């Protein structure tokens, strides 16, 4: 084996200059006990817990379902199941979350889920989300296609605007 050669070069340092801040690691998101329980309940590939059975797992079910949908990526179906439950049972109180899903580029899969379920949402919320997806979302063309599939003429009209 050859010995390693270590080369030291002089570097000029200005002692009066402030040191460059070190890049901080992003905070690690740790799920709460309730969120962990929801993940366990929604994880089985076959026969996951029904949305109606999740209420006992969390004191803030809508918030915890939104957290799971936004942050849990494995197994891949858990986040989508959480989003389905949020849409089905808590859409009226989750408008801000649903709006973020239809307007943020990194939430495209959740956006498509929301837009495919517009007919199941309270009408004013469905209209608001459809408009937001087209006006502020990352893929107005894709949003229009999904919105046009609605059974509601009022919602379909937004796709045609």
DSSP category for residue 74: S
**Residue 19: predicted pLDDT:** 57
**Residue 25: predicted pLDDT:** 63
**Position 130 in a domain:** yes
75-80, Cβ contacts within 8 angstroms, sequence gap of 24 or more:
75/43, 75/45, 77/42, 77/45, 78/39, 78/42, 78/43, 79/110, 80/109, 80/110, 80/113
**Position 16 in a domain:** no
**Residue 13: predicted pLDDT:** 47
DSSP category for residue 96: H
Same domain, 122 and 100: yes
**Position 86 in a domain:** yes
**Residue 100: predicted pLDDT:** 98
**Residue 96: predicted pLDDT:** 97
Host domain of residue 62: 34-39+51-93
**Position 81 in a domain:** yes
**Residue 152: predicted pLDDT:** 97
pLDDT in tens, the chain (161 residues): 555 555 444 545 455 555 555 566 666 678 999 999 999 999 999 999 999 999 999 999 999 999 999 999 999 999 999 999 999 999 999 999 999 999 999 999 999 999 999 999 999 999 999 999 999 999 999 999 999 999 999 999 999 98
Same domain, 83 and 145: no
**Position 101 in a domain:** yes
**Residue 29: predicted pLDDT:** 77
Same domain, 115 and 77: no
Same domain, 82 and 102: no
Whole-prediction pTM: 0.80
For the chain, how many structural domains are there in total?
2
How far apart are alpha carbons 156 and 147 in whole angstroms? 6
Same domain, 99 and 86: no
**Residue 161: predicted pLDDT:** 87
Spatial contact of 102 and 111, defined as CB atoms under 8 Å apart: yes
């Amino acid at each position: 084996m050859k010995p390693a050669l270590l080369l030291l070069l002089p570097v000029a340092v200005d002692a009066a200059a402030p040191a460059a801040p070190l890049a901080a690691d992003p905070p690690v998101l740790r799920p709460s006990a309730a969120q962990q329980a929801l993940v366990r309940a929604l994880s089985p590939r076959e026969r996951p817990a029904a949305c109606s059975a999740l209420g006992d797992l969390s004191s803030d079910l809508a918030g915890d379902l939104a957290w799971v949908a936004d942050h849990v990526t494995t197994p891949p179906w858990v986040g989508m199941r959480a989003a389905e439950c949020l849409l089905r049972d808590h859409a009226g109180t989750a408008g801000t979350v649903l709006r973020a899903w239809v307007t943020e580029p990194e939430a495209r899969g959740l956006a498509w889920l929301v837009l495919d379920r517009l007919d199941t949402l309270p009408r004013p919320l469905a209209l608001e989300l459809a408009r937001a997806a087209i006006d502020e979302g990352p893929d107005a063309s894709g949003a229009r296609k999904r919105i046009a599939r609605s059974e509601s003429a009022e919602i379909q009209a937004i796709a045609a605007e």
